Amino acid sequence: MLKINNLTYRIGERVLLNKANATVSAGSKTAVLGRNGAGKTTLFKLIMGELISDEGSIDHPPSWKISMTSQEAPNGKENLINTVMSADRKLLSLLKESETAENPERIAEIHETLADKEAYKAPSNAAKILAGLGFSNEDQSQSCDAFSGGWRMRVALASLLFLKPDLLLLDEPTNYLDLEAVIWFEDYISSYPGTVLLISHDRDLLNSSVDKVIHLDQTKLTSYRGNYDRFVETHRLKIELSEKQRVKEESERKHIEQFITRFRSKATKAKQAQSRIKMLARMKPITNITEERAANFSFPKIEKLAPPLFNLEKIDVGYNNQAIIKNLSGRIDSDDRIALLGANGNGKSTFIKLLAGVLKPISGSIQMSSKLKIGYFSQDLAESLDLTATPYSQIQKISPKTKPEKIRNHLGAFGFSKEMALEKINHLSGGEKARLLFAQISIQSPHILLLDEPTNHLDILSRHALVHAINEFDGAVIIVSHDPYLLEATVDNFWLIADQKLQIFEGDMDDYRTFMLNQSISNDNSDTEQSSTIRNPLNKKEIRRKAAEKRASLTTLRGAAKKAESELSMLIKKKENIIEFLKEADSYKKFPDKALQLQKEMGKLQKQLETVEEQWIDTQMKLENESDS
């Protein structure tokens, strides 16, 4: 068990933790949530002993091995298997000693320890983890130096998992993973035998692998049972309860203040007035539970174009005249919502760049509507933004005819203050650059969104806001993402790029998870019988019909949900007005009949509220089920 007791930690004048308490049971998979900068990573470093607290303690069994994700990528000439195994220094030391030891007793002791550590399985265990994170057999035999920084960060994660510590501290572990590796990682963490503390913006990971949430907010740690979605609902209810208590307290405080004002000067009531003054002084204000806010994303209504938006004929596309995808044919229409699946390097970004006009076909032809406007989000933000410009000048350059006031308002809608709009883009954080790129896309009123890893720099609330904006957008959408929740919530169809071919994957994200987890980790490239879940995308008529039916159903349900929301808002407002009238000290005296009538109306109103709320919940559940189906 891990126990955090009255923990306080300051950085200069700033207090990150103040008498914070939490308990994590052995074997628990616990998410640590909180806004950016709240101190989540600092908490991990305190647990690791890399930082020393100002007050309090962190207790755990002395025998526990604790390890945390590394921010540094490994390098060197060793192959990947040996690089991963070298993370277990004790194992390596014992293996070395076993080669030179001469004392029979020591040799027996070494071999007994190696047997306990299942040393004979170490190479295959390292290989399994590397394969799960996307490294083929051929990759695993190469030196670490042969890989890019992002791939070497995967090796760092593999090394951490290979250690199998008793307490595993994971800080944004999926940042460098593709969707296929994320699917494997979710499954691995769910069955991990030790205790896990997890910081992540990946909603699917937080739902599938977590049984508890610790929320770091306003320097305190609050524990919640269940996964992320359960936390969101419980936290929302706590906010509502806190607000009700605050309103009630304000009403009581106001009533006491009115009594004091009326009677403190009267001799007959002076004693009671003094008593009320003391009562007022003893009343502690209720701590307001804050609700974190995310920046808004929005895309304007568009003018519909005649289909198709794109028509592709026998295209080969790639780099340096070497095709990554071959014989690509098909069409993309304005109602298409597509996720691109496939391992890193198979050509997902290549396909996006082809449609965006960044890459030209090696052979074949691509036709598109002459009026087509494209919104392209590159995962390399520097590819689409002038880092020496300011947000204001960047938007002005993209949309020179837009009036200055409209540009400022547009940037404001995406979370950029007047001051931020005039900062150099290279001074902005990754999340701010991502929001700016979305602001740039939005002002162009695109007919299609081509999104290549759009959530890389977004926190969990911003990702949720982006999902909402994409669902409100009435154009075509093609997405590459390692975020399963984004794909589940926004697309209708899945296209798989593998073996230089583009094929339709018939199923949803759950089917793709099963498909991936059933694949052999040997990465055997031999020809196998094609899965019945995959087929050629040339004939899309039936799929488009089903997708259109699903969208029509979703549109009806969304309309019903909005209507219920509107009715709820009206009833809540009406209830608030009645409460406000009845709270007035002399309302019963001045208007007794009206007060009595409103009291009766309150009962009916409450029943109406409950009925409409049930209708809204029912519609939301149907909406969720329809989206998942």
Kindly state whether residue 205 falls inside one of the protein's structural domains. Answer: yes
Cα dihedral 407→411→416→422 (10° resolution)? -30
Specify the pLDDT at position 407. 95
Do 226 and 328 share a domain, yes or no?
no
Structural domain that includes position 591: 540-629
Share of the chain above pLDDT 70, in %: 86
pLDDT above 80: residue 28: yes
270 in a structural domain: no
For residue 51, the model assigns a pLDDT of 94
Whether the predicted pLDDT of 15 surpasses 70 = yes
Same domain, 327 and 228: no
Query: Residue 522: which pLDDT band, with cuts at 50, 70 and 90?
Result: very low
Question: Residue 604 has what pLDDT?
Answer: 83
**Are residue 195 and residue 323 in the same domain, yes or no?**
no
Does position 273 have pLDDT exceeding 70, yes or no?
no
Name the pLDDT band for 523 (thresholds 50, 70, 90): very low
Per cent of the chain over pLDDT 90 is: 50
570, 508: one domain:
no
Residue 521 parent element (H or E): none
Average pLDDT over residues 412-439: 91
* Cα distance from N-terminal residue to C-terminal residue, the chain: 40
Instruction: Among 505, 539, 573, give the residue marking a domain's end.
Output: 539
Question: Which of 188, 209, 232 corresponds to the end of one domain?
Answer: 232
Is residue 458 predicted with pLDDT exceeding 80? Answer: yes
Q: Residue 468's domain is classified under what CATH number? A: 3.40.50.300
pLDDT digits (tens, 9 = 90+) for 461-500: 888 899 999 999 999 999 999 999 999 999 999 999 999 9
What's the pLDDT score for residue 32? 97
Q: In this structure, are 517 and 547 located in the same domain?
A: no
Please report whether residue 139 resides in a domain: yes
pLDDT in tens, 591-606: 777 877 887 788 788 7
- pLDDT reading at 521 higher than 60: no
DSSP three-state, residue 273: helix
Which value, in Å, is the radius of gyration of the alpha carbons in the chain?
A: 30
Please tell me the predicted confidence (pLDDT) of residue 66.
96
Tell whether 80 and 219 lie within a shared domain: yes
Distance of CA 254 to the CA centre of its chain: 42
CA distance 463 to 126: 33
The answer to whether residue 304 scores a pLDDT higher than 50 is yes
> Is 445's pLDDT higher than 60?
yes
Query: What pLDDT is recorded for position 290?
Result: 56
**Nearest alpha-carbon partner for 347 in 327, 315, 318:** 318
Is residue 358 a part of any domain in this protein? yes
Question: Of the candidates 283, 299, 272, which has an alpha carbon nearest to the alpha carbon of residue 475?
Answer: 299
The listed range with the strongest mean pLDDT (520-524, 582-586, 607-611) is 607-611
Q: Give the tens place of pLDDT for each residue, 526-581.
A: 444 444 456 555 445 555 566 667 667 777 877 787 787 778 778 887 887 787 77
Judge whether 332 and 309 are in contact, CB under 8 Å: yes
pLDDT over 80 (residue 192): yes
Encode 130-152: b = buried (16+ Cβ within 10 Å), e = exposed. bbbbbbbeebbeeebeebeeebb
Q: Does 126 lie in the same domain as 215? A: yes
Final residue belonging to a domain, choices 232, 255, 279:
232
The whole-number pLDDT of residue 279 equals: 63
- Residue 293 clears pLDDT 50, i.e. is over it: yes
Is residue 154 over pLDDT 50? yes
What pLDDT does residue 271 have? 63
Per the structure, the count of domains in the chain is 3
> What's the confidence (pLDDT) of residue 535?
56
- Examine the domain organization and report whether 471 and 500 are in the same domain: yes
Higher pLDDT, 95 or 535: 95
Q: Which of 132, 192, 199 is nearest to 170 (CA)?
A: 199
pTM greater than 0.75 (yes/no): no
- Is the pLDDT score of 338 beyond 50? yes
Q: Quick one: pLDDT at residue 520?
A: 47
**How large is the average pLDDT for residues 75-89?**
90
Place of tokens 């760092």: 156
Domain shared by 327 and 404, yes or no: yes
Q: Give me the mean pLDDT over the 67-86 stretch.
A: 90
Residue 546 belongs to a domain: yes
As a whole number, mean pLDDT of residues 24-49 equals 93
Whether residue 258 lies inside any domain: the answer is no
9 — alpha (psi -120 to 50), left (phi > 0) or beta?
Answer: beta
Using pLDDT thresholds of 50, 70 and 90, give the confidence band for residue 249: confident
Backbone angles phi, psi at 58, to 5 degrees: -125, 120
Backbone region of residue 453 per phi and psi (left: phi > 0; alpha: psi in -120 to 50; beta: other values): left
pLDDT of residue 91: 78
Question: Does residue 343 sit in the same domain as residue 405?
Answer: yes
Per-residue pLDDT at 539: 47
Do 73 and 221 sit in the same domain of this protein? yes
- The answer to whether residue 285 sits within a structural domain is no
Same domain for 499 and 591: no
CA count, 13 A, side-chain hemisphere, 454: 32
* Per-position DSSP letters for 6-20, written without gaps between them: EEEEEETTEEEEEEE
Q: For residue 370, what pLDDT band results from cuts at 50, 70 and 90? A: confident
In this predicted structure, what is the pLDDT of residue 314?
Answer: 94
**DSSP one-letter string for 154-174:** HHHHHHHHHH--SEEEEESTT
pLDDT in tens, 97-144: 777 777 887 888 877 877 777 777 888 899 999 999 999 999 999 999
- Asked if residue 434 has pLDDT above 70, the reply is yes
Q: What is the mean pLDDT of the chain?
A: 85
**Looking at the domain assignment, is residue 251 inside a domain?**
no
